[in-house]
Amino acid sequence: MHTMTESVSKYLNRELSWLEFNQRVLAEAQDVSVPLLERLKFLAITASNLDEFFMVRVGSLQMLVAQGSSKPDPVGLTPVQQLEQIGARAHHMVVEQYACFLDDLLPKLTAAGIRNIQSSSGSIASLTVSEVAKSMTALKSADEVSAATEVVPRTQLTSRQLKLVEQIFDGELASVLTPMAVTSSDDFPLLANQTLNVCVHLEPSPGDPEKLARFAIIPFGKGTSRFVTLPSEGGHEFMLVEDVVAQFVDRFFPGEPIRECVPFRLTRNADLSAREDLAADLLAEMEEVLEARRTAACVRLEISDRASTPLLAFLQAALKIPNEAVYVVPGPVDLSAFMQLTDRSGFEHLRYESWPPQPSPSVDLGSSMFQVLQRQDLMLFHPYESFEPVLRLLEEAADDPDVLAIKQVLYRTSRNSPIVAALQRAAEKGKYVTAIVELKARFDEARNIEWARSLEMAGAQVIYGVKGLKTHAKCMVIVRREPQGIARYVHFGTGNYNEITARLYSDVSFMTRDEELGADATSFFNAITGYSQPQRFRKLEMAPLGMRPKLLEMIEAETQRKEQGQKAIIIAKLNSLVDPAIIDALYAASKAGVRIRLNIRGICCLRPGVKGLSENISVVSIVDRFLEHARLFFFYHGGDERVFISSADWMPRNLDRRVELLIPVEDKACRARLISILEAYFDDNVKAKKLLGDGTYSRVKQGKSAPHRSQEALFREICEIGRLAENSRRTVFEPHRAPDGKLPSRGKE
């Protein structure tokens, strides 16, 4: 139990809390009980996460500093103070990433037959974290840098491998790559965000009396493969493309002595948004935003520790990058690229046991999805249960002559989306298709612009979201003509309409023919697509208007019941908890004695377990093979248990700046199952970590309890439910019947 002091804020800083989340992901890469290629995958994820963090969060803070802002966050930290603390924490995290990669994963991958043929990065085995950090800042002088071009010694390559590498360089890389001589920021090339480059340091020109160093930049571009597969006697051997270039870099500069050839990568600010108040054409404005990102300020420079001090100084001056934004790494730049190695065939023993999505026992394959939903509401828990029924519902709707209209929100979709293909087909068949394509979905803007245009060409009505807001709700309405009249079939989700991520993310789909939810969903679309003010919903709540008040009302109701001596419980599963108003309401509920259990995967700005503030609140975080993404809320409500699913986290951006939905689940079977799922996460004593009042996390202790890994338990449970349902079906005798009750023709005897 922690005790608050006057000097300690009752909140935790959002950015530092996010970095603690990424540390928990890194812990999976460091965990020797996790299969080797899965550990490499987690390491790559931490690097990719850090990329986006710098592009968005650090970029945003740097813009505030440039604007002269000193406004503190809820913790009391100014933008400058936040950047200082982020820098220290992020540098330490990068040290741990490379210690994990070089000292642990790389030797084990080599022993398992996945070998990186190179020696350009030395091992940091047996060094402490502080020694690694010191090695990452100890750059060489120009005189200490070898002038040899054989950055990768050819003795490591067999003659067959050397011949192939030479062929690849001469036949492909030398033709594609273009070295560019640079002298200063004035002639420095525009380098793409998050792409690999090498800086070549050449000896001064013999005729130069001032002996000025010369530099050239070789950008690799997005289309250049990072890994070059080598022929080998067994296993998988590869070289990094930057090592191949270093091997033969002298061929780009015939007769020129070369001092060094060093990989580096830039991260640019991506926290740029459209000026919707000035944009007559949002699609054109978003295209301009994408273009602006190409030239945005650099927020981070990652560079190999092989760089000399003069080379780094040249890059910093040319790119206007301060020392604190430089990350000198003792291994390959961009560890996120190693995700490509994690699905190599032949190494299945180095990955998790397969957990394929299971067919839902509630979905009869002999019935249409309309018939299934006429009988019952349907809840699916992905990725344990297949996303196929959601696709099937839409595809059947596209082809069903009785379907009149389809309305759907598209926030993030897959590259070759069957969802979009079905909507296009429906529009081409004359159905009234309305697609809300959110052009402002960060890093998916280009793909969404492409989808918007293709849907428009097919005849669909496309709405580019809501002015000033992001439409993040997950909703689909199918309007169908039936004998009893018009029926509305609705899908609500906590995740995107993306069949790829539905195999990787933990999310809930809820499908229903409920008349009131159907009416609410229709009102929701009308509010977004027209100028009408949102009508009062019968069951739904929508951000940015009614969701926060509804959540505060539910929390306050539990608080009042507890103050009256009644039982009161709040359970919530979220990705992030940041909103001060909701945190304060939870603190008040805790002080009243309400038992509050929170499962928060990522950012949590609430301090749990603090005496006099939050001793009745516990927070756990689970990082495992599937990304926890579902938002589920439970309120005891005097025994009349209320359960909700939502597209929204409890953050100001979700509650104030996005269009989100809060959906009550009233079907008894669906509600009971959601409660059971929530409970399963709090039984986890294998992957769960508990948030402490000081912002740190500790692993949940097993004690005398048997190991319980929530994701595995949920998968096994769904498999068992499916097995029992299949056995039940086998014991039911169903005769084949002829159409219309007629006997089949026997033909001539």
One domain for residues 529 and 547: no
Instruction: Give the C-alpha distances (Å, rounded to integers) separating 189 from 184, 217, 295, 602.
Output: 10, 8, 11, 38
Residue 141: per-residue pLDDT: 53
- State residue 222 phi and psi, 5-degree precision: -70, -25
Give helix 580-592 / helix 547-563 axis angle, nearest 10°. Answer: 10
Distance of CA 339 to the CA centre of its chain: 14
The answer to whether residue 349 is catalytic is no
Bond preceding residue 383 cis, omega within 30 of 0: yes
Per DSSP, 55 falls in state I
Asked if residue 218 is part of any domain, the answer here is: no
The residue range of the domain holding 616 is 543-725
* Last-in-domain residue among 496, 519, 539: 539
- Residue that has been written with the tokens 């503030």 in this structure: 613
Asked if residue 481 is part of any domain, the answer here is: yes
The structure tokens listed for 444 are 């998916």
Residue 541: per-residue pLDDT: 96
pLDDT, tens digit, 9 for 90 and up, residues 20-67: 999 999 999 999 999 999 999 999 999 999 999 998 899 888 888 888
CA 186, 189, 194 angle in degrees (round to 5)? 130
**Domain with 67 in it: what CATH number?**
1.20.58.310
Asked if residue 598 is part of any domain, the answer here is: yes
Residue 134: per-residue pLDDT: 53
pLDDT, tens digit, 9 for 90 and up, residues 222-273: 888 999 999 988 899 999 999 999 999 999 999 889 999 999 999 988 765 5
CB count in 10 Å sphere of residue 726? 11
One domain for residues 401 and 533: yes
> What's the average pLDDT block by block, 10 residues per block, for the chain (749 residues)?
68 96 98 97 97 90 88 93 96 97 96 80 39 50 44 65 93 93 86 93 84 90 89 91 94 92 92 45 47 71 94 93 94 96 93 96 93 97 97 97 95 86 94 85 64 85 83 96 96 94 96 97 89 77 95 98 97 97 98 98 97 96 97 97 98 94 97 96 96 95 88 96 80 57 44
One domain for residues 439 and 475: yes
One domain for residues 532 and 610: no
One domain for residues 22 and 86: yes
One domain for residues 646 and 612: yes
CB count in 10 Å sphere of residue 628? 22
One domain for residues 535 and 565: no
One domain for residues 373 and 392: yes
- Report d(CA 491, CA 475) in Å as an integer: 6
- Report d(CA 388, CA 363) in Å as an integer: 10
Asked if residue 282 is part of any domain, the answer here is: no
Residue 468: per-residue pLDDT: 81
- Report d(CA 228, CA 337) in Å as an integer: 13
Distance of CA 492 to the CA centre of its chain: 20
Instruction: Give the C-alpha distances (Å, rounded to integers) separating 97 from 39, 91, 104.
Output: 11, 10, 10
* Last-in-domain residue among 114, 145, 178: 114
* Last-in-domain residue among 98, 114, 130: 114
One domain for residues 533 and 552: no
Name the helix (H) or strand (E) containing 100. helix 79-100
- State residue 382 phi and psi, 5-degree precision: -85, 155
Asked if residue 151 is part of any domain, the answer here is: no
Residue 2: per-residue pLDDT: 62
Asked if residue 463 is part of any domain, the answer here is: yes
One domain for residues 584 and 642: yes
Encode 364-423 in three state secondary structure. Answer: CCCCCHHHHHHHCCEEEEECCECCHHHHHHHHHHHHCCCEEEEEEEECCCCCCCHHHHHH
Locate all alpha helices (DSSP H) within 538-667, ordered by sequence.
547-563, 580-592, 652-656
Q: Which of 201, 236, 382, 472 is catalytic?
A: 472
One domain for residues 378 and 526: yes
One domain for residues 569 and 632: yes
**Domain with 577 in it: what CATH number?**
3.30.870.10
The number of folded domains in the chain is 3
Asked if residue 183 is part of any domain, the answer here is: no
Asked if residue 166 is part of any domain, the answer here is: no
